[in-house]
């Protein structure tokens, strides 16, 4: 498929923007000025000022004499680039590849996009009509190369859509300025009588380079498509992206859900075909009033299941503000990972931590409470109970060892253990009663002790004697006492956990 580019020239960018903001300026001559060696020179104007005789480079005082009613504004550095970036984002509804072309233009790679509007003519007509409806004075050009599209947009009287392969014929009647050459070189060409590109387009490359330098050769051959020229898009293209352009703007939630589900399904089928799963996705919607919004999701496991990914977006649909209507949805998958074949199996057997259903469950929980509230614990090689489990967010990480099955451990562990007041018949026996948080518990059954030695290579300490104690109400607790076998030591008691 041949490349097709569109160049859009905003002839009165700053003044059009000011007139959009202040409707009273639409019928008045308007100009922008910039300081230069103590003077203010006109650098931008609208059509009314141009018809009054205002030209680029004249002083502000001369402009007031030529057009007494002119409205002058001081141009702020970088303002035109800021405006162009906003317009480039607006143009993302037509193509994902849009480049800012300072000081007053945009470049679009529309390869494979024009059929969405019924052809190149209708595509360009729709884009130009909507931009003019917003209040901008523009001229478009479409061609196989960036240079040719730029040239016809700014210099051609007609033929703004150059047919494929027609760059040479389109460039020949245009002035040398259409090749984006430096001012000094344009003056030299004019003095030598080269008023059209056709007067030197047939000269050998070596002759052009020797007489006029390498820049004219580069620009000419770029415009002809014989030298490479690349478009640097405003936003880096995402390898996995799909979009749906709607014939009529939509507003109701039911239609929005149907459209997003179809878009997600298209992307998931593509990922499935390449053995990939989605880890993060961004859904962008563009409204007919020029505003846009985004929904972002993430998954704990590479997923290519349409229903699961759609459900994650559906949890955020309350944030979608359709306004007067949404005309375009764009779904980007900036992060993907290889997906194993087991992802296509439906919950066979006991799911592991890295299984699809566990990952989807965590995605649904995280969408409601946030990832910070989800923890995964793996066994660690430590004796002390509070160190025997480590926290991780990686579902694929393998444990260092298995959970101990030969020892009884509580479901809920207190960190740190809390002191209690306990009474035992003898120091080496389990307590008969204890007071915890001002409540007395009478022990009717107790198992133990289980002696767990301290890890002397980590810090100094002794051992703990653990007991599983049951009170009169049937509640079971994990209690331990400190060493008491040295002179002067008194056993202290702690509660370390609860059993179901």
Are residues 110 and 50 part of one domain? yes
Mean pLDDT of 476-487: 84
Asked, for residue 229, whether it belongs to a domain, the answer is no
Are residues 422 and 290 part of one domain? no
Asked, for residue 283, whether it belongs to a domain, the answer is yes
Which of 320, 343, 366 delimits the end of a domain?
343
Kindly report which listed range (50-54, 62-66, 388-392, 395-399) carries the lowest average pLDDT score. Answer: 395-399
Is 32 a residue whose pLDDT tops 80?
yes
Are residues 19 and 148 part of one domain? yes
Both tokens of 381, joined, read 């090689």
Please name the residues in contact with 62: beta carbons below 8 A apart, sequence gap of 6 or more: none
What is d(CA 408, CA 421) in angstroms, rounded to the nearest whole number?
A: 24
CATH number at residue 306: 3.30.1490.100
Mean pLDDT of 18-24: 91
Confidence of residue 163 (pLDDT cuts 50, 70, 90): very high
Which of 120, 149, 165 delimits the end of a domain?
165
Are residues 80 and 20 part of one domain? yes
6 versus 24: the higher-pLDDT residue is: 6
Helices (H) and strands (E) counted in the chain, each on its own, are: 13, 19
Let me know: does 433 contact 445? Beta carbons within 8 Å. no
Let me know: does 296 contact 230? Beta carbons within 8 Å. no
User: For residue range 314-348, what is the model confidence (pLDDT) as tens digits?
Assistant: 999 999 999 999 999 999 999 999 886 544 444 44
Rg of the Cα atoms in the chain: 37
Are residues 198 and 58 part of one domain? no
pLDDT score of 462: 79
Both tokens of 91, joined, read 């143009």
Asked, for residue 384, whether it belongs to a domain, the answer is no
For the entire predicted model, the pTM comes to 0.64
Are residues 307 and 260 part of one domain? yes
Are residues 152 and 104 part of one domain? yes
3 state SS of 439: strand
Asked, for residue 312, whether it belongs to a domain, the answer is yes
CATH number at residue 107: 3.30.70.270
Is 94 a residue whose pLDDT tops 80?
yes
What is d(CA 100, CA 86) in angstroms, rounded to the nearest whole number?
A: 10
What does the chain come to in residues?
500
pLDDT score of 346: 41
Which of 321, 343, 365 delimits the end of a domain?
343
Mean pLDDT of 369-397: 76
Are residues 270 and 202 part of one domain? no
User: For residue range 396-407, what is the model confidence (pLDDT) as tens digits?
Assistant: 677 777 776 767
Are residues 159 and 107 part of one domain? yes
What percentage of residues in the chain have a pLDDT greater than 90?
61
477-485: list long-range contacts, CB under 8 Å, 24+ apart: 477/436, 477/441, 478/409, 478/410, 478/413, 479/420, 479/422, 479/430, 479/431, 479/434, 480/417, 480/452, 481/422, 481/424, 481/427, 481/449, 484/427
Q: Tell me how many degrees the CA angle 430-436-440 measures, rounded to the nearest 5.
A: 80
Asked, for residue 348, whether it belongs to a domain, the answer is no
What is d(CA 162, CA 170) in angstroms, rounded to the nearest whole number?
A: 7
Phi, psi values for residue 496, rounded to 5°: -115, -10
Both tokens of 361, joined, read 């469950």
Are residues 298 and 188 part of one domain? no
User: For residue range 166-186, what is the model confidence (pLDDT) as tens digits?
Assistant: 999 999 999 999 999 999 999
Asked, for residue 88, whether it belongs to a domain, the answer is yes
Are residues 144 and 36 part of one domain? yes
pLDDT score of 347: 43
Residue 161 has what DSSP assignment?
B
Specify the number of domains making up the chain.
4
Asked, for residue 174, whether it belongs to a domain, the answer is yes
Is 156 a residue whose pLDDT tops 70?
yes
Asked, for residue 321, whether it belongs to a domain, the answer is yes
Are residues 337 and 264 part of one domain? yes
Please name the residues in contact with 147: beta carbons below 8 A apart, sequence gap of 6 or more: 179, 180, 219, 222, 223, 224, 229
pLDDT score of 388: 78
Confidence of residue 158 (pLDDT cuts 50, 70, 90): confident
CA-wise closest residue to 4 among 135, 100, 128, 97: 97
Both tokens of 312, joined, read 């994650």
Domain hosting 442: range is 412-499
């Amino acid at each position: 498929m041949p490349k097709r580019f569109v160049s859009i020239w905003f002839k009165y960018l700053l003044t059009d923007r000011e007139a959009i903001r202040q409707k009273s300026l639409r019928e008045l001559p308007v100009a922008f000025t910039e300081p230069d060696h103590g003077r203010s020179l006109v650098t931008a104007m609208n059509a009314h000022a141009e018809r009054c005789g205002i030209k680029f480079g004249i002083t502000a005082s001369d402009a007031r004499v030529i057009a007494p009613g002119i409205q002058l504004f001081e141009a702020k550095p970088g303002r035109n680039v800021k405006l162009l970036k906003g317009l480039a984002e607006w143009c993302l509804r037509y193509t994902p590849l849009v480049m800012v072309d300072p000081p007053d233009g945009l470049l679009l790679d529309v390869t494979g996009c024009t059929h969405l509007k019924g052809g190149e003519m209708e595509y360009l007509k729709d884009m130009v009509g909507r931009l003019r409806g917003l209040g901008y004075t523009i001229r478009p050009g479409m061609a196989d190369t960036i240079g040719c599209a730029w040239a016809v947009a700014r210099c051609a009287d007609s033929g703004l859509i150059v047919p494929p392969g027609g760059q040479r014929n389109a460039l020949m009647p245009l002035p040398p300025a259409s090749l984006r050459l430096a001012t000094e070189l344009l003056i030299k060409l004019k003095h030598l009588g080269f008023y059209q590109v056709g007067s030197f387009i047939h000269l050998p490359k070596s002759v052009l380079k020797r007489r006029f330098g390498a820049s004219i050769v580069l620009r000419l051959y770029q415009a002809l498509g014989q030298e490479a020229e690349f478009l640097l898009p405003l936003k880096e293209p995402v390898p996995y992206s799909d979009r749906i352009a709607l014939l009529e703007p939509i507003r109701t939630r039911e239609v929005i859900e149907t459209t997003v589900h179809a878009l997600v399904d298209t992307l998931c089928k593509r990922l499935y075909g390449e053995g990939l799963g989605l880890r993060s996705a961004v859904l962008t919607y563009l409204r007919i009033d020029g505003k846009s919004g985004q929904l972002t999701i993430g998954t704990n496991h590479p997923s290519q299941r349409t229903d699961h990914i759609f459900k994650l977006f559906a949890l955020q649909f309350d944030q979608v503000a359709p306004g007067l209507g949404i005309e375009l949805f764009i779904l980007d998958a900036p992060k993907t990972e290889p997906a194993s074949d087991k992802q296509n199996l439906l919950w066979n057997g006991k799911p592991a931590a890295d299984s699809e259903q566990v990952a989807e469950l965590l995605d649904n929980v995280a969408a409601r409470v946030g990832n910070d509230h989800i923890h995964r614990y793996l066994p660690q090689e430590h004796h002390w109970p509070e160190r025997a489990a480590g926290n991780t967010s990686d579902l694929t990480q393998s444990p260092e060892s298995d959970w101990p099955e030969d020892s009884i451990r509580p479901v809920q562990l207190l960190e740190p253990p809390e002191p209690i007041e306990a009474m035992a018949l003898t120091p080496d026996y389990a307590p008969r009663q204890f007071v915890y948080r001002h409540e007395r518990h009478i022990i009717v059954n107790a198992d133990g002790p289980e002696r767990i030695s301290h890890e002397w290579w980590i810090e100094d300490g002794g051992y703990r004697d653990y007991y599983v104690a049951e009170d009169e109400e049937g509640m079971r607790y994990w209690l331990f006492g400190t060493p008491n076998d040295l002179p002067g030591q008194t056993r202290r008691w702690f509660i370390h956990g609860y059993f179901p």
